[in-house]
Amino acid sequence: MKLSIDLSPEQAQRLRDEAERLGLAPEDLARSVIADLLATPSEDFKAAAERVLRKNKELYRRLA
């Protein structure tokens, strides 16, 4: 998918500076940041998973 976004001049300069510091093209840095964001579970998911693990802790211990 191709995506186009508008950045303020300050944001664009920050992206270029950070990309240069990391030795990347600005497009590659933006792509990487978006991929990381999408791969990270949301806080709601984390909270639900923790509740299930806490609730079933004894069951998991017995099954181990």
pLDDT in tens, 9-28: 999 999 999 999 999 999 99
According to DSSP, residue 3 is labeled -
Structure tokens at 31: 């792509």
pLDDT in tens, 45-64: 888 888 888 888 888 788 87
Tell me, rounded to whole angstroms, the distance of Cα 35 from its chain centroid: 6
* pTM of the shown model: 0.64
Domain positions in the chain are 9-63
CA angle 32, 35, 38 (to 5 degrees): 150
